[in-house]
A and B are shown apart, each in its own frame.
Chain A
C-alpha cells in the first residue's frame, strides 16, 4: 500500500509541469502570449522593423493620412506614426515589467517577513499597506508623481510605491497558511536557519498566486503608465510613448490616425497580458478561478 502510494507520487508530474501543460492547451492564453511576443520582438528589433526613425521630422510629409509609405500616417511634425508606435513598445513593455517586478519583489519580501516574523513589524507594515490601499491607486500615484516632479522615472517610482501593498498582503496570507505545516516544523527542528526556511521551503510553496497576480497586473501597469503619460506626469514629448502620443493627438478628429494607432497598441498589449494572466490563473491557481 505504502509502496503503491510512493510509486504513484514518483510518477506524477510536478504541479508546475501540470500547470504548464494546462496553460499550453489554453487557446486564449496562447493568443495573449503571441501578442506579447510580437510586442517584445518589436521592442527588441525596433530599429529593424520601423521604416523611419521615431524622431526624424519631415515638414513636407506632415499630417498625411495612412498610405503605403506611412501605414499609420504621419504626425504634425511629419514623423512616421508606425515607427513611433513600434518604438513605443521599448517604453511601455519594460516600464510595465519593471513596475510589476519591483512591486512584486518589494511586496512579497515585506509580506513574507511580516507573516513569518509577526509582531510589531507585521503590525506596522500591514497598517501601512491598509492605508495605501485606502486610496484608489491612480489618485495616489498622481499625487506622488506630481510631488516628485514629472518624469518617466518618477512615474515609475510612484506606481511601485502604490502597488506593493497588494503583493505584501497576498504573500503574508500565503506565508501564514504554510508556516505551521509539518515540513516547516521539521526543517526548524533539525536546525535550519530562518532565512533558509523562508527561501527554500516557504517561498517556493507560496509563489504561484503571486506570479499569477503579477501577470494579471502587467496589463494594468501598462494602462497606468500610459494614463500618467497622457496626463503629462510620465514620459515627456518627443519620447515615442503611447500615452503621450494619444495626448498629443487628442481632439484632432480630422487626423484620427494620431490617436487611433497608439491606442490600439495599448489595447492589444493590455489584452495580451490579460488573456495570458487569465490562463496562468486557471493553470496554476485554481482557487482564484472565476474571481
Chain B
C-alpha cells in the first residue's frame, strides 16, 4: 500500500473522532446541574431577556437535545466557541491570543526533553547497570513523581528568590516593552525585529518553566530510548554488524539507533498529553499567558464556555499530533502501512 493511501485512511478516521469528542464536550456542558443557559450566558446575565433570548436562538436551547447538538456543531464549524464570561470576548479569540505562548513553551520543553533525554537514555542502555543507568533511572522517576506545580514553586524559590540567577514568573520582564506580535512566539518575534535584549530576556524567562515542564517528557523519552535500545542491541543484525568487524560507534549510529528511535517517536504522541497536563500546572505557577493557565483560571471562575472551548481545542490538537505520529511511523517503517 502506498504512503498516500495510508495518510488518507488516517485522515478519514479523524472524522468519527471529531464527532465523538464534540459529543463528549456537548455532554459535559449539559452535566452542569443548573440551567443549561448558565453554561452560555453566566448567571449574572440571566435576568436580561434580550441576552437570554439571543442565546436560546443561537444555541437552539428550545429544541430537542439532538437538534441542540447540531446547533453546537454548526456554531463550532463557524469557529464559534461561545463568549467567555470573564473576558467578555469570543473564546476562539482568547484562545488564538493565548495559544502561541503555550506553543513556545511546549516546543522549548520538547527541545529540552529530547536534548537531555535521548543522550541519557542511550548512555543508560550502553552502560546498563552502571552509575549512569542508575542516575537516569533516578531522574526519570523524579520526573514522573514530582507534582509540576510544586517543583515549579521550588525551582522559583531556589533560582529566582535565593540565588537570583533566573527571572521570576512571566514571559518577559515587565519593564520591557512587549515584543510586536508577528508569530506570537517571543523568541522568533524579537529576532525578526532584531531586538537582542528582548530576545535574551525572553530566553531567560523560558528556562525554568521549560525545564519543569519538560522533565516529565524527558523521563518518558529516556525510559523508552533505554529499553528499546537494549532490545535492539540483542538483535541478530547487531551481532552480524559487530562480527563483520564494524566499529562499535558505527554499529550504534548506523544500525542500532535508527531502529531504537521508532518507539521513541511513537511516545511523542503520549508526550504531548503529558506536556498539556504539565502546561496546565506549569503555566499557572509561572504566570505564563498560555491556554493552560487560561483553562485553569476559567475552571476556577466556572467560566464554562472558556473551559469547554479550551478542552475541545486541546483534544483536537492531540488528535492531529497522533495523526502526525502515525504518518511519520508509516514513513519510517513501511510495514506499518500494511497493518
Contacts and interface: CB of A to CB of B under 8 A. Distances in A.
Interface in A232-287: 232-233, 243, 246-247, 250-251, 253, 256, 259-260, 262-263, 266-267, 270-271, 274-275
Interface string B168-196: 00000000000000000000000000000
A27 interface: no
Given A135-B318, A290-B230, A147 B147 contact: no
Given A130-B20, A267-B150, A149 B284 contact: no
Contact of B153 (A138, A250, A271, A290): A250
A291 B151 CA distance: 25
A250 B33 contact: no
Contacts of A251: 153, 156
A290 B280 CA distance: 29
A131 B284 contact: no
A207 B258 CA distance: 36
A139 B295 contact: yes
Given A127-B20, A139-B315, A142-B295, A253 B161 contact: yes
Contacts of B274: 136
Contacts of A253: 156-157, 161
Interface string B302-314: 1010011011001
B200 interface: no
B54 interface: no
Contacts of A275: 141
B42 interface: no
Interface centre among A226, A251, A259 (most CB of B within 10 A): A251
A146 to B, nearest CB: 4
A64 B318 CA distance: 46
A247 B31 CA distance: 27
B314 A135 contact: yes
Contacts of A146: 298-300, 302, 304, 307
A165 to B, nearest CB: 11
A147 B36 CA distance: 11
Given A149-B33, A246-B150, A136 B304 contact: no
Interface string A212-237: 00000001000100110011110000
Contacts of B273: 136-137
Contact of B149 (A137, A147, A246, A260): A246
Given A131-B24, A246-B153, A253-B156, A231 B314 contact: no
A148 interface: yes
Given A147-B29, A147-B32, A267-B145, A140 B157 contact: no
A270 B145 contact: yes
Interface string A128-166: 001110111111101111111110000000000000000
B227 A291 contact: yes
B141 A274 contact: yes
B314 A136 contact: yes
B319 interface: yes
B17 interface: yes
Contacts of B230: 290
Given A144-B28, A226-B147, A134 B319 contact: yes
Given A147-B28, A246-B149, A227 B311 contact: no
Interface string B12-41: 000011001101110011011100000100
A134 B308 CA distance: 14
Contact of A132 (B24, B31, B157): B24
A163 B29 CA distance: 19
Given A130-B17, A139-B276, A144-B31, A274 B144 contact: yes
A140 B31 CA distance: 13
B46 interface: no
B281 interface: yes
Given A135-B311, A136-B314, A142 B296 contact: yes
B103 interface: no
A266 B318 contact: no
Contact of A143 (B20, B276, B311, B319): B311
Contacts of B308: 143
B20 A134 contact: yes
Contacts of A135: 21, 24, 311, 314-315, 318
B166 to A, nearest CB: 14
A231 B318 contact: no
A267 B314 CA distance: 27
Contacts of A147: 28-29, 31-32, 39, 304, 307
A148 B147 contact: no
Interface in A91-149: 127, 130-132, 134-140, 142-149
Contacts of B318: 134-136
Interface string B258-291: 0000000000000011101100110011000000
A96 to B, nearest CB: 13
Contacts of B11: none
A266 B147 contact: yes
B277 A138 contact: yes
B241 to A, nearest CB: 23
Nearest to B17: A134
A227 B149 contact: yes
Nearest to A256: B157
Contacts of A231: 280, 284, 296, 299-300
Contact of A271 (B16, B145, B304): B145
A110 B310 CA distance: 30
10 contacts: A137-B277, A138-B276, A139-B280, A145-B299, A226-B147, A233-B299, A251-B156, A259-B153, A267-B145, A267-B150
4 A-B pairs with least C-beta separation: A263-B150, A131-B20, A290-B227, A136-B273
